[in-house]
Structure 1
């Protein structure tokens, strides 16, 4: 093994750990309301809305949102898949199970994030996070049926949890028609997310 190859492999391992730490830091800083620590996990030119860019605008948006909606929150993350585009850019999917104290209700949530990470000045940061929700509901009200996003004071809505993955619709639309088993095609090791997306482009965030 060449020295260059060894250094590349070490850099990849260090990058994987740094990105996993980034996700854990996101959860802790958000739940403890350290908004300075939180917004500095994002790229300096993070887009917040159509006409607002930067950490200061992200901090203000978070402050307004958290004070208005949530007394307290807890984010439990796991199931983290990371794939690299090049040494300084990566994508990832991470599950998050969340709890929210909101007024008189205790809302539980299951979701995942589609992430894009970028190494800027030697530090891995979020380039963007796309939240995809399966359900949100009061602790005592199982979200059976459609429109599983059920926030207090809002009409139920669809959370897009399955929308990034064509396999969900394919599975339900194509039940087996014979007793013969079908060949299972593996996803390339470094292109698991790309394969599951069926080669579609990066999912987009609607800018407010």
Structure 2
């Protein structure tokens, strides 16, 4: 391909992936389970030993019926990096609202996404939800254990666990009289992976 063709394909891929995240939020909130699971690769893994959209649909259906009357997902910034023509990764911020019986739970989180193009169309290969807080609208989530669902003991989220810079920042005690070193910038398509620095994915507690 010419350079112009490559640039156009890159822009088209980024926009299709961005639409993928928006479709995820809408289909989930409107409980269109078929539209929702078809955003994922046909051989999507569900748990340790199940594969396929039918298993994913069954899991999503049961989870949504058990936990929430209604939800609303509000997407924030979406960073996307192309790894090659058919693979990409990304980070999406999401502010969510949940009706949980007598409580209205507000959540702040981000998704770490892996995307794959299969037969010319982009899909989610995996979504890793990392939560900062979830708490009743009238109860600010101050403190370490910010995940506070009705009927459960509070626990810690994994919002910062993908990126080692968070713990490094708080562990460092800079000398105010010495200018810090500044690392060289990473290449354009390696910003997210550069920030992660091969940090393994944390174990996620959905609820």
Q: TM-score, structure 2 length as denominator?
A: 0.94
Deviations 1:74-125 (A, max 9, x none): 0011211111110100000110000000100000000000000000111100
Report the more deviating stretch, 171-180 or 159-168. 171-180
Report the more deviating stretch, 37-46 or 79-88. 79-88
Cα distance in 2 for residues equivalent to 1:87 and 1:106: 42
Structure 1 residue runs of 5 or longer lacking an equivalent are none
State the partner residue of 2:10: 12
State the partner residue of 1:132: 130
State the partner residue of 1:161: 159
State the superposition RMSD in angstroms: 1.7
Deviations 1:50-72 (A, max 9, x none): 22111011111111111111110
Corresponding residue SS for 2:139:
coil
Cα distance in 2 for residues equivalent to 1:54 and 1:98: 27
Alignment CA distance shift 1:137-1:92 (3 Å): same
Counting only pairs closer than 5 Å after superposition, residues 165-176 of structure 1 correspond to structure 2 as 165-176=163-174
Q: TM-score, structure 1 length as denominator?
A: 0.94
Deviations 1:130-170 (A, max 9, x none): 00000000000000001110000111111110011110011
State the partner residue of 1:143: 141
Counting only pairs closer than 5 Å after superposition, residues 174-193 of structure 1 correspond to structure 2 as 174-185=172-183, 186-193=185-192
Cα distance in 2 for residues equivalent to 1:207 and 1:99: 18
Preserved CA contact (<8 Å) 1:50 1:207: no
> Which of 96, 99, 102 is residue 101 of structure 1 equivalent to?
99
How many equivalent pairs are there?
205
Structure 2 residue runs of 5 or longer lacking an equivalent are none
Matched, 1:115 2:113: yes
Report the more deviating stretch, 129-138 or 186-195. 186-195
Corresponding residue SS for 1:26:
helix
User: C-alpha displacement at 1:187, in angstroms?
Assistant: 3.2
